[in-house]
Structures are given as C-alpha cells and as structure tokens.
Structure 1
Amino acid sequence: MADTEIDYAAVFQALPGMVALLTPGLVYADANEEFLRMSGRTREQVVGRYLFDVFPDNPGDPTANGMRNLAASLNRVVETGERDAMALQRYDVESVQRPGEWEERYWSPVNAPLLDSDGKVVLLIHKVEEVTELIRARERAPGDRARVMEAELYTRARELQDVNERLREAHAHEREVALALQKAMLPAPNPLGHHRAAVRYQPATDALNVCGDWYDLVDLSGVDRIGIAVGDVVGHGLSAACVMGKLRSALSAASLVADGPAEALDALGLYARSVEGAENTTAVQTCVDWDTHTITYSSAGHLPPALLRRDGTVVLLDQATDPPLGARPEHTPRPEATVDFTEGDRLVLYTDGLIERRDEDIDVGLVRLAEALARHRRAGLEPLADALLVDLLPAGRATDDTALVIVRL
C-alpha cells in the first residue's frame, strides 16, 4: 500500500457525503456523485455555472433567505481564509421533473477554504448534509422519539445560527463606527512642517480586534524639535477607540509642556488612573531635536522604537523601558534615555501588530523588523512604510491592528 498512488479524484467522487468545489467567484468547479444525486442535478447542470443560477431562492417565498445566508458564509471564507459552519438552513430546491414546483429542503452546510502556498483562497469546499427528513420527523407521531429529538437539536442549531448572524451584523456595525471615530481622532499624516513623515494605520481583519492603536506627531517648543508617539490600548472596538482618543489627546498636550518624554508619560500615567479601560495601555514618547541631533525617549511597556542608520544598521531604543500605564500601585518617575542621530537616519515607531505572532518569541519579531529595515534602507519614506507592511504583516488575516510612523531625520 505504501507504493500505491491514491487517486484523489476517485476518492472525491466516492465520498459518502455531499461535497462540491467552488471558485472564489462562487462558480462550481466540481461536485461529487452524492451532491448531484441529493440535489437532483446532473454534472452538466452544475459544473461551470454560478452557484445561485443553479440554486436560486424560491421566488414564491418572500421569507426565503437561504441564498443570502450561504453567500455570506462563502464570502466570509474567501475574505478570512477560515472555515465557516452554518448549522441548519432552509433552502428550497426547484424540482427537475416538475419545473416551477419547489421542494421544501433543509441543509446543514460547512464551508472551508483551500489555500495556495501564499495563503490565498483558491477553492472553497462546500460540504452539505441533507436533513429534511429529520425536520419533517417533528410532524410525525411522537413514538419516534430519537428522530424527534434529532429534529429538535437541528432546530435549536438554526436558532443559534440566527443569533450568531445578528451578532456578526452588530459587530460589523461597531467596527465601522469605531474605525470612523478613530480616523477622526488621529492626526493628519504630515503636520511637521519641512520634516517628512510617513504614517500607516492598518485595522485588524477581526471586527472585534480593532481601534486600540494610535500615533501622534506634534511640533514642540524650541527651534527645531518634534514629538512622536505611538500607543496601544488593551481593549478593542468602540470602547478602545474612545479610550485611545482620550489618551492620545492627553499625551499630546502633556508633551507640549513637559520637560521631556519621561515627564509627559508620568502625566499620562496619572491621567490614565481616572480613565476606565486605560489600564495596562502601552505607549512610547520620543523627542527629536535637530539642533543637538539627538532623540530622547521613554517607554511605558511599549515595543522599542527602531533607529535605521544610513549604513543599514538598526538600533533598538530600549534603554528607557518601564511598565505599562497603571501597572504600578505607586507612582514612580519614568526613565528616559538619549541617542545621537545623523542626517539621513530614519526613526521608526510601531505597535505590536506589526511584529508580534502568537506562536513565537517577541525577539524573533524584532529581528524580522531589523532585517526588513536593513533590506529596504535605500527606499524613500512612503515606499519604506509600504514595504514594511508587506514584509511583516501576516498574509490574509491580520489579528491585530497596526500603527506605523517613520520620520526622516
């Protein structure tokens, strides 16, 4: 058996359950024999045709929603690259023998992606269980207890599916509102006069995992000084966007009057104690002084900024790191450090979505960032920002939002 080559096409056709393959455009690429038999269609009526041309909703039923629900599930799989189980669906099918007549049918579909080597969805696996007889068992004599109980379970599954769909719609609406709120609160990309900066904000794919990150750029007092900060609120969604707006504004104001980044973060930490949801927020504040060619910085539990020198060397600014906001019961002055720069260097500030992965140590992500910066050291600011997002963000589904600021020194 070890030397026997498996005929997977034959295996697909012989599968005991209903399985079809769809393109990302929802056109049938193939269907196994059981799918054709149970749906009452021939291969010629299915393969190469658009899904909803083959199986439209019953035009005589104004409450029919099978087509809409199935389309939403399949599109989610295309967008996220993740499997989606639909539980129970009523989806009537037109009779082949009696055109114009529709048969009441109940289906329990599961949709899964087939990915290529780059993580792109190339096919959809549409597996369906036909459960019409189980649902009809509810109308029969109560003696068939096992069948009736199965039918009840499928009915409850359908109810849960409806609740889940309403939650998805609510979360999608919250995502839209939160992103609009965050966009309104974040500053314009280039408020630094003759100094150039590139900024990016990349929201997470997950509707529940956006809007905690921020960036800020502000002209400071003095001949030629600017403040640059990034931060990350622990929460997500609308509440995180509101907390983010409060903290960003507070840090921006504090940086204008404070004697350096550490003092600005001290003030922010005291303010954060009065803001619900601000606990354990991370932030880093920097002050760039072109008169002295120095960067002064302080970090409240945030990932270290990176200084990309003209020769491709990358220096991590990690000599003034302290716990996140509100992590200490007693107030303690925060540390501060200073590093020299030369004209043409680039300062890079970012949030954890750019480099962190759940299955690896943070140092691996920092090395990956340094290598990407060195690789693209000759790129301009805007191309460099784009290159970092392409090189460092995971393909397909981003699990956390990302803020990125690059300033040419």
Structure 2
Amino acid sequence: MTEGAIDYAGVFQALPGMVALLTPDLLFADANEEFLRVAGRTREQVVGRYLFDVFPDNPNDPTASGMRNLAASLTRVVATGERDAMALQRYDVENPDRPGEWEERYWSPVNAPVFGADGKVVLLVHRIEEVTELIRARGGPTGSRSRVLEAELYTRARELQELNERLRQAHAREREVALALQKAMLPARRQVGHYRAAVRYRPAVGALNVCGDWYDLVDLVGGNRIGVAVGDVVGHGLDAAGVMGQLRSALSAASRVAAGPAEALNVLGRYAHVVDGAESATAVTTFIDCDRRTITYSSAGHPPPVLVHPDGRVEFLDRATDPPLDARPDPIPRPEASTTYRDGATLVLYTDGLVERRREDIDTGLARLADSLARHRDEDPESLADAVLLELLPPGGATDDTALVIVRL
C-alpha cells in the first residue's frame, strides 16, 4: 500500500460484521471473512454464485419466509435506489458439511445501494447482524435467564414479522384500490379535436408515491380549441387518488369557461385552498387554438411542456411559471404566455417522474427528454410515447408516478 493510500479491500475483509457485495442480479461479487465464517461457507462456495442458490429456503418448512423477504428487500433497493433495513429474520441455513441438515439462524439485514457514474445501482451492500446467540442462548449458570430472554426476543421478533407482513398486505390492497380508482377517473381518449393523442400513466415502484399524477384532454368552448393539462398531487395512495380526481375535474370544468389557461389555474388554486391534501399540488395547462396555430400556457410549479417542431427544434414552454397551487396566502393572477406552431409539431406534457432522478439535476433529465423527443419526432404519438418511456424510465420502474401526454398538432 502506497503512503497515504487506504487498502479498502483489506478494510472490507477486516470488517467485524457480516458484509457481502451483490450484483443487481443478486450474484455474490464478494464477501468478507466474517460473513464466510458465520455462514460456514468458503469463498469458492459463495463468490460468483446466485444468492438463493447458496442460501435457499428450507424445503422441509413450508412456512419459511426469510429468503423470500430478503429477495423482496433486495429487489426494492435495486428498483428504488434506497437503503432498506429489514426486521429481524429467521433463516434456516443448510449445513455445508451435512447436506439436508438445516440450522436455525436469526439475522438482522440492512441492504444499501452503490451507484455507478451514470446514477444506476451497480452493487448492493448486504450487511447482517448475527443475533442467533441472543435468540437461542445455551447453557451456563444464567441458562434460565437466557431462556427467558430467548422466549421474549423470539416472541417480539415473530410479532414484528407478522406486523410487517400485515402492513405489506394492507399497502398492497390500498395500492390496488387506488390504482383502480385512478384508472376510472383518468380519461382514455386518444383523439382531441382533429388531432391524435397518446396518454400514458406508469405507477411508482412500491406502495408509496402512487396515484397522485393526472392528465386531462378537453374540447374547449368557443372556436376550434382544445385544452391539455397534467398535474401532480403531493401524497400517495387513496388520499392522493381522491384529491387528484377533484383537481382534475375542477380544472376540466374551469378550462371550458375560462378566457385562458392562467384564469383556469387561478380558479383551480382557489378551489385547492379548500381541498384537504391539495396543498403544494402542481399543474400545467395549455390551450391550443387550432385555427391560429397557437398554444397559450400557464404553469403552477410544474415542469414545462415541450413543443417539438417538425424540423427537430425543441422548445420548452417555460415563460409562464408560477408557484404551486395554494402556495400563496393571498393568490394573485397567474402569468400566461403563447407560442406558435406549424402542422406536424408535437406537444408533450408530463409529470416529474419522467425527468427527475435522485442525485441528478433536473436539467439533465430535461435534456434527456429533449434528445429522445427530437430523435423520435417522426413516429406516431403512440410509438413516440412508448419510445420516450423506454428510454427515460429506469428498467425497474421509477420511484414516483409518471404521466405522459403527447399530441400531434
């Protein structure tokens, strides 16, 4: 080791706790000496192998769930990029010297992501606290107290596991109901006026941050005009879905009678003030005049719409941005701006799940969106929507909802 340098490989091997490195495909990339010692495995039996080939569930115990719970945690870390601390888990670990003989272990795992230069998860740090001796204490002069402690800890661990499972099931049910409610409330129209439109909604990975995004496409009163809007409610689950439905309906109604998008958002802001859960919601709406070839727009704290011109020029409609709904104690008129377009242009509205990533400036996501739209601009709206989602959303899904509306003008 050169002077001043740190031998991180040596430090990893000397760590006092059980630590392993896994690839996103859950193959062992490395394991420290303590992990191998406590697990009773050699390096050759571990490194390069699939985690659950090395440590499968006990086939003789149909109630065994430790490995299944671990798989869910690791998959969640890969998909979300967030650290996950698991409740105490019981594992049956097969004795490598006596196949078919299983040893009861109690491990408390923590799983954390390691990111590459592109912001994607490239490794998982799988750290384990070995607490089997506390749970299954043996012999000695304090054996009776150990057995009492064992019984208490085991009972608490089982209760915590059962509570976690009930919470998981409750979140899953709420997610299903909220998604069904949102699907019922969001329009499925693919044609507005004489124009073709594509709409997409992708729920967030996991039970949180789901059902707050919405979109709307309406025929406006007076002239050959249409309105296109998207919005995002802070929150998740059934509450967010309910607020989303109220705001979408309110903006849809206001747009049909408002003189312009700013007035429609003014009305929506006053309505949001009396709706619990609508605080800090964002929205952007565009009024398209098909005869004059103009787009008038206004934004309440939302990422800017994108206008892709037939020649590939990308224009962000960002000249009329204001704070989110109900952000001011005394609302003032919101700004609006206009731009022109030619036949064959494409208007794109979206929510932040499409462009925002942790540890990344939003300008990077906007540039990525602009590049994708310019390259695929000649495709029909349906194909364009699929291409954009494929290129911009992480393979495992985003940690926030994503709504996308594409209109070919």
Please, what TM-score do these two structures have when normalized by structure 2? Answer: 0.79
- Partner of 2:131 in structure 1? 131
Identity %: 75
Whether 1:107 aligns to 2:110 is no
C-alpha change, 1:39 and 1:171, in structure 2 (3 Å) is same
Structure-2 separation of matches of 1:92 and 1:363: 48
Q: Which residue of 2 aligns with 1:215?
A: 215
**Distance in 2 of aligned mates of 1:276 and 1:266:** 18
Alignment of 1:137-156 (within 5 A): 137=137, 141-142=141-142
1:259 maps to what in 2?
Answer: 259
Q: How does 1:232-381 map to 2 (within 5 A)?
A: 232-330=232-330, 332-357=332-357, 359=359, 365-366=365-366, 369-381=369-381
Paired residues for 1:15-94 under 5 Å: 18=18, 35=35, 37-40=37-40, 51-52=51-52, 55-58=55-58, 61=61, 63-94=63-94
Structure 2: 5+ residue stretches without partners: none
Q: Tell me if the contact between 2:353 and 2:399 (Cα under 8 Å) persists in the aligned partners.
A: yes
Query: Does the CA-based 8 Å contact 2:85-2:111 persist in structure 1?
Result: yes
> What is the rounded CA distance, in whole Å, between the counterparts of 1:37 and 1:329 in structure 2?
62
Q: Distance in 1 between matches of 2:127 and 2:320?
A: 55
Partner SS, residue 179 of structure 2: helix
Residues 204 and 402 in structure 1, CA contact (< 8 A), matched pair in contact too: yes
Q: 1:7 to 1:189 in 2, by over 3 A?
A: farther
Gap change, CA 1:273 and 1:42, over 3 Å in 2: closer
Shift of 1:209: 1.0
Q: Which moved more, 1:171-180 or 1:324-333?
A: 324-333
Instruction: Please report how far the alpha carbon of residue 349 of structure 1 lies from its aligned counterpart in structure 2 after TM superposition.
Output: 1.7
Q: 1:138, 1:151 within 8 Å by CA — same for their partners in 2?
A: no
Cα distance in 1 for residues equivalent to 2:335 and 2:113? 49
- Gapped regions of structure 1 (runs ≥ 5): none
CA distance in 2 between partners of 1:97 and 1:394 (Å): 42
- Residues 309 and 346 of structure 1 are in contact (CA less than 8 Å); yes or no, is this contact kept in structure 2? yes
Q: Tell me the CA shift for residue 351 of structure 1.
A: 2.0
Deviations 1:18-44 (A, max 9, x none): 555666565667766655554445677
- With 267-276 and 19-28 compared, the bigger mean Cα shift is at 19-28
Moved more, 155-164 or 194-203: 155-164
The farther-off stretch of 151-160 and 89-98 is: 151-160
Q: Which residue of 1 aligns with 2:184?
A: 184
Per the TM alignment, residue 74 of structure 1 is displaced from its structure 2 partner at its CA by: 3.4
Following TM superposition, by how much is the alpha carbon of 1:89 offset from its aligned partner in structure 2, in angstroms? 2.2
How far residue 376 of structure 1 moved from its aligned partner, in angstroms, is: 4.5
Against the structure 1 CA distance between its residues 150 and 121, is the aligned structure 2 distance closer, same or farther, given a 3 Å change threshold? farther
Q: Cα distance, 1:234 vs. partner?
A: 1.9
Which residue of the partner structure matches residue 230 of structure 1? 230
Superposition deviation, residue 248 in structure 1? 0.9
Q: 1:272 to 1:73 in 2, by over 3 A?
A: closer
Matches of 2:280 and 2:110, distance apart in 1? 39
The size of the alignment, in residue pairs, is 409
Tell whether the 8 Å contact from 2:233 to 2:278 is kept in structure 1 after alignment: yes
CA contact (8 A) 1:298 1:321 kept: yes
- State how far apart, in whole Å, the 1-side matches of 2:71 and 2:394 are: 26
The offset of 1:282, in angstroms, is 1.9
Report the CA distance shift for 1:143/1:239 in structure 2 as closer, same or farther (over 3 A): same
Of residues 318-327 and 172-181 in structure 1, the stretch that sits farther from structure 2 once superposed is 318-327
Query: Which AA in structure 2 matches 1:70?
Result: L
**Secondary structure of the structure 1 residue equivalent to 2:184:** helix
- Aligned counterparts of 1:388 and 1:257: Cα–Cα separation in 2: 33
Aligned mates of 2:325, 2:121 — CA distance in 1: 41
Distance 2:113 2:333 in 1: 52
Q: Which amino acid aligns with 1:133?
A: E
Q: CA deviation at 1:151?
A: 10
Equivalent runs, 1:185-200 vs 2, <5 Å: 185-200=185-200
Q: Distance in 2 between matches of 1:30 and 1:228?
A: 52
8 A Cα contact 1:190 1:196, kept in partner: yes
Question: How far 1:243 sits from its partner (Å)?
Answer: 0.8
Residues 1:319 and 1:169: Cα distance change in structure 2 (over 3 Å)? same
Report the CA distance between 1:293 and its aligned residue.
1.6
User: Partner letter of residue 194 of structure 2?
Assistant: H
Matched-pair contact (CA < 8 Å) for 1:134–1:148: no
- How far off is 1:252 after superposition? 1.5
Distance 1:20 1:155, change over 3 A: farther
For 2:62 and 2:380, the matched residues in 1 are separated by: 57
SS of 1:348's equivalent in the other structure is strand
CA distance in 1 between partners of 2:395 and 2:53 (Å) = 32
* Two-structure CA RMSD over aligned residues (Å): 4.2
Distance in 2 of aligned mates of 1:84 and 1:117: 22
Maintained 8 Å contact 1:137/1:151: no
Structure 1 residue 185: deviation in Å? 1.4
Partner of 2:406: 406
Q: Give the whole-Å Cα distance in 2 for the aligned partners of 1:33 and 1:124.
A: 17
Distance 1:52 1:218, change over 3 A: same
Q: Which amino acid aligns with 2:329?
A: P
Distance in 2, matches of 1:18 and 1:328, equals 52
